[in-house]
Structure 1
């Protein structure tokens, strides 16, 4: 004799289907309504912090010590945003005495940048590869195994963002005079910090 499923159990099976159907209907209606809130655009100073972290994190993929910001902390430069207006981008680089296994070190950087969603390519310079990367957290980056002075160098430029380069530099100088420290300061050689900022 065939037994019927008791009402409570039938309701148990029926309820998830109803709930899922309601959820799908809600998502469809919400999708048709369009975006309700746009994510805020990161300003140039925010991208400065990103590019410094990116360069530092890149150097940590290599078994090398002594990385220095020999050209100072990240500095801003004028750029053009996608909408055609002027913006600002930050550039930062670190250098260290050259390693020995250039090919292996280049491979490590390629693997790391690929993991960040960057497009990478490697230039062959007679056993001294240079890795180029674009996209991802920064606009572009380079890892050079044949930089000046027999050094390795990692340099990156942030995405172009809202900001006025002249104003940013003025604000930087004023904040520096007030004793404020900035991302990347810990890598600047003491002799490269101007006396007026001490």
Structure 2
């Protein structure tokens, strides 16, 4: 990841983590028919497709998507994923591009412009996303939909590869 995370990027990560840790049981709003792999892939694809809409080079992932339990009462999982690049020069315009794209995906979107533009989105193909334009780097991160799955099996799968 180029540079280091700024306060705005850290806040975006904290928001995504809070959404993941708050718990999410598969329900009518989330597709319980999706497999964990489909939920993970939808998250990664949405983030990569978002980045591709920006005239910024050098995108890098923090790490592979991380799996976590999302409901203690059911065997359910969600993935978290982050993707960053050196900052662009049109922060507000880029935030507006991201917001417009996420709306086409059926997401509910909110844009905060101060001190630096940040876009927050929920719904659509993922649970939640954020896009930070803080000085030093752009950062997109989020959590997948919560789906039925066993975190232990999926963690082992990640480790073994």
Q: Write the deviation string for residues 25-81 of structure 1: whole angstroms up to 9, x where unpaired.
A: xxxxxxxxxxxxxx9711212111111101100001101110000x21111011029
Q: Which runs of 5+ in 2 are unaligned?
A: 1-30
Runs of at least 4 residues off by over 2 Å: none
Q: Which has more strand, going by share of residues? A: 2
User: 125, 132, 135: which one pairs with 1:144?
Assistant: 132
Q: Which has more helix, going by share of residues? A: 1
Q: Which residue is equivalent to 1:62?
A: 54
SS in 2 for 1:146: coil
CA distance in 2: counterparts of 1:170 and 1:86, whole angstroms: 15
CA distance in 2: counterparts of 1:53 and 1:171, whole angstroms: 20
Q: Which residue is equivalent to 1:41?
A: 33
Count of residues in correspondence between the two structures = 131
Q: Which has the larger Rg?
A: 1
* TM-score w.r.t. length of structure 1: 0.63
- Please report how far the alpha carbon of residue 86 of structure 1 lies from its aligned counterpart in structure 2 after TM superposition: 3.6
CA distance in 1: counterparts of 2:32 and 2:86, whole angstroms: 40
Q: Which residue is equivalent to 1:172?
A: 158
Alignment of 1:116-127 (within 5 A): 116-126=105-115
Q: Which runs of 5+ in 1 are unaligned?
A: 1-38, 177-198
* TM-score w.r.t. length of structure 2: 0.76
